């Protein structure tokens, strides 16, 4: 059973020294437990926060222990009445070939609706984050302008498409020509900004002639400072992620935006997707319907091999992924 451990806590950017691969015996399930073979592993930006020894909404990873994240796996052996060998399941598991979990920690993956990978993306945590963050905090209304940063990623691409379904003008900010083309031509965003090559301030002015009513913030930093300068009265700013800040070794003192919130009676609110846990079912039903109807499209970037999970994770911070970043560990 190959496992990837947290070898040291990164200061600033993680690198190959952050991770270590180890062999350990394959675990076996006790009564009420299930042995799962990892098929797809999700790498997510929030995991960077768990690598620090700091208080947050999830406990830090332990040093020299296996990293954990969202997994879709296949049941190899079950000692729980709800699962049988061959079932596809999802849950929080280790970055390893095999995991043993209690049956209660697993959920069946319904492949009648969509391919199993979607349980980690559009029909999983990132899709739900987009759904509840935009609809509950953003409260989009027909004709409003929505700006989303990290727009071509797992969360951002769904945010923009839901905003389009709600009749909004959607402006996406992302970091490569391929992503820009995807957002504009395939997802039908109204305007797109490449923050690496465009003058973001000027581009926002042109892309948002009527100002910004909702800003869905996945990145923070300078991009967000520019967007907040263009907000309208009663704007809603949804703080979903701050990926531009996750690898900084000291806090970033950006321009202060509070005056802009004050004079526009604007709302800025952070959230964690699990705040909406008791409504996940409702969100998944709606997202699955939109996907089935072709109203929401999704992309996945799949890297092969457990040994490549650290690189796939680091790739998130370099923008190597278009859509949801996954690692394929074994075949179904």
Site string for ligand NDP, 170-199 (x = CB under 6 A): ----xxx--x--------------------
Q: Is 219 in the site for ligand NDP (CB under 6 A)?
A: yes
- 176, containing H or E segment: none
Q: Is 27 in the site for ligand NDP (CB under 6 A)?
A: no
Q: Is 319 in the site for ligand NDP (CB under 6 A)?
A: yes
Q: Report residue 133 CA to chain centroid gap.
A: 12
Site string for ligand NDP, 93-132 (x = CB under 6 A): ---------------------------------x--x---
Query: Strand 2-6 vs strand 19-23: parallel, antiparallel, or unpaired?
Result: antiparallel
Q: Report residue 189 CA to chain centroid gap.
A: 20
| Least separation in angstroms between CB 155 and ligand NDP | 3
> Of 41-49, 206-214, 289-297, 304-312, which segment contacts ligand NDP by CB under 6 A?
41-49
Nearest one of 175, 176, 174 to 189, comparing CA atoms: 174
Q: Is 160 in the site for ligand NDP (CB under 6 A)?
A: no
Site string for ligand NDP, 248-267 (x = CB under 6 A): --------------------
* Total of chain residues touching ligand NDP, rule CB under 6 A: 29
Q: Is 156 in the site for ligand NDP (CB under 6 A)?
A: yes
Nearest one of 129, 201, 193, 200 to 162, comparing CA atoms: 129
Exactly one of 14, 45, 70, 103 binds ligand NDP (CB under 6 A); that residue is 45
- Residue 159 in tokens: 């945010």
* DSSP track, 268-319: EEE--GGGGGGGHHHHHHHHHHHHHTTSS---EEEEE-GGGHHHHHHHHHHT
Query: Rule CB under 6 A: which residues touch ligand NDP?
Result: 44-46, 126, 129, 150, 152-156, 174-176, 179, 218-219, 240-241, 243-244, 271-273, 316-317, 319, 321, 325
């Amino acid at each position: 059973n190959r496992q990837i451990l947290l070898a040291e806590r990164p200061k600033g950017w993680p690198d190959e020294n952050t991770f270590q691969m180890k062999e350990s015996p394959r675990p076996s399930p006790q009564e009420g437990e299930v042995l799962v073979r990892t098929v797809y592993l999700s790498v997510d930006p929030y995991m960077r926060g768990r690598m620090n020894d700091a208080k947050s909404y999830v406990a830090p990873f332990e040093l020299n222990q296996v990293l954990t994240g969202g997994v879709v796996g296949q049941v190899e052996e079950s000692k729980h009445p709800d699962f049988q060998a061959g079932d596809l399941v999802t849950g929080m598991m280790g970055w390893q070939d095999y995991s043993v979990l209690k049956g209660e920690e697993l959920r069946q993956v319904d492949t009648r609706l969509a391919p199993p990978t979607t349980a980690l993306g559009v029909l999983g945590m990132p899709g739900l984050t987009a759904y509840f963050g935009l609809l509950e905090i953003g409260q989009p209304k027909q004709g409003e302008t929505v700006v989303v940063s990290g727009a071509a990623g797992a969360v951002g691409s769904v945010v923009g498409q839901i905003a389009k379904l709600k009749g909004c003008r959607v402006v996406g900010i992302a970091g490569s020509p391929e992503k820009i083309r995807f957002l504009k031509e395939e997802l039908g965003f109204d305007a797109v900004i490449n923050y690496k090559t465009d003058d973001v301030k000027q581009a926002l002015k042109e892309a948002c002639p009527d100002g910004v009513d909702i800003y869905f913030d996945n990145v923070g930093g300078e991009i967000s400072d520019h967007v907040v300068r263009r907000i309208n009265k009663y704007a809603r700013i949804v703080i979903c992620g701050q990926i531009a800040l996750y690898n900084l070794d000291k806090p970033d003192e950006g321009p202060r935006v509070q005056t802009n919130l004050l004079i526009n009676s604007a709302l800025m609110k952070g959230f964690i997707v699990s705040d909406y846990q008791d409504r996940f079912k409702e969100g998944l039903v709606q997202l699955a319907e939109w996907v089935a109807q072709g109203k929401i499209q999704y992309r996945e970037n799949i890297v092969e091999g457990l040994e490549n999970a650290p690189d796939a994770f680091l790739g998130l911070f370099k923008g190597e992924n278009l859509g949801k970043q996954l690692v394929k560990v074994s075949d179904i």
